[in-house]
């Protein structure tokens, strides 16, 4: 009996259940715009957590010396990230004085004093091709596991092979596909747990909203910024709406009857 209890407790310690905020607001590259913060900075992540967004999105790439970093573009101040060592990249500060964040620092910040904002982690396809993308995915999952960050993370990618590599290492991982050409039924068969498509895809395939809900796939949309578009996706009860305007989306949700 004692043994069962101890096993139960150790399970709880390993996998703390997190109650994510009950709203659909995902801050795209963190909440940066209103306060003029750099995108993908730790400051923008902290602001998304402060706003109580249900998610804060960020982009991952790997440097030449295999440091995982948070940056959208394949270059940083003209330097190709995959061909440059981290120390060279980190010599140039972000506009708010922050050092270019490593994934490790980002995750540690994201798990600190965070009452319910999930970490929406985009693994960028590698300019070097699919095989390198898989390698990066493996490194990312290893880091998540080492830091016990699994319960916080939703993985997103434009590359299905990257999501497959994530699932091979962590079959329980929450995954959402970004590229927009696969139907909810196809994604379900792929073992992907959600779709996160550009809003134009849902305009063209309105039936996919219903199909995704029926298939119990998480429904996410990017990047929705105008009040009119935000209202439309709120009215369709999307699980997640990824936006550069989290404050505006909260205002719209508050005004809802």
CB of 207 to Mg ion, least distance (A): 26
| Encoded tokens for 77 | 């101040």
Give the integer Cα–Cα distance in Å for 175 and 95. Answer: 31
Residues 25-54, mask of contacts with Mg ion (x by CB under 5 A): ------------------------------
Residues 89-118 that bind Mg ion (CB under 5 A): none
Confirm or reject binding of residue 59 to Mg ion (CB under 5 A). Answer: yes
Among 90, 86, 31, 28, which residue's Cα sits nearest to residue 58?
28
d(CA 104, CA 84): 18
Tokens for 193? 């747990």
**Between residues 71 and 102, which has the closer beta carbon with respect to Mg ion?**
71
d(CA 45, CA 28): 10
How many residues sit close enough to Mg ion to count as binding (CB under 5 A)? 2
Residue 30 CB, nearest approach to Mg ion (Å): 11
Instruction: Write out the two tokens for 217.
Output: 């796939």
Distance CA 170, CA 124 (A): 18
Nearer to Mg ion, 196 or 211 (CB): 196
Site for Mg ion in 122-151 (CB under 5 A): 122
The CB-of-110 to Mg ion minimum distance in angstroms stands at: 15
Where on the chain is the footprint of Mg ion (CB under 5 A)?
59, 122
């Amino acid at each position: 009996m004692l043994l069962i209890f101890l096993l139960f407790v150790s399970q709880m310690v390993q996998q703390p259940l997190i109650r994510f905020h009950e709203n659909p607001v995902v801050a795209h590259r963190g909440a940066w715009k209103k306060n003029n913060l750099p995108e993908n900075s730790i400051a923008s992540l902290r602001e998304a957590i402060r706003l109580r967004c249900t998610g804060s999105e960020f982009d991952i790439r790997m440097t030449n010396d295999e440091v995982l970093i948070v940056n959208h573009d394949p270059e940083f101040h003209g330097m190709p990230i995959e061909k440059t060592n981290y120390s060279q990249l980190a010599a140039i500060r972000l506009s708010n004085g922050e050092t270019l964040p490593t994934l490790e620092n980002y995750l540690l910040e994201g798990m600190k004093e965070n009452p319910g904002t999930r970490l929406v982690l985009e693994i960028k396809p590698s300019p070097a091709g699919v095989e390198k993308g898989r390698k990066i995915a493996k490194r990312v999952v290893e880091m998540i596991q080492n830091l016990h960050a699994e319960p916080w993370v939703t993985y997103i990618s434009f590359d299905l092979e990257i999501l497959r590599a994530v699932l091979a290492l962590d079959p329980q991982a929450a995954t959402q596909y970004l590229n927009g050409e696969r139907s909810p039924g196809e994604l379900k068969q792929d073992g992907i747990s959600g779709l996160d498509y550009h809003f134009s895809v849902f305009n063209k395939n309105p039936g996919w909203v219903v199909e995704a809900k029926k298939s119990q796939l998480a429904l996410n949309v990017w990047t929705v910024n105008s009040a009119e578009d935000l209202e439309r996706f709120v009215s369709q009860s999307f699980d997640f709406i990824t936006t550069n305007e989290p404050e505006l989306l909260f205002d719209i949700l508050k005004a809802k009857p």
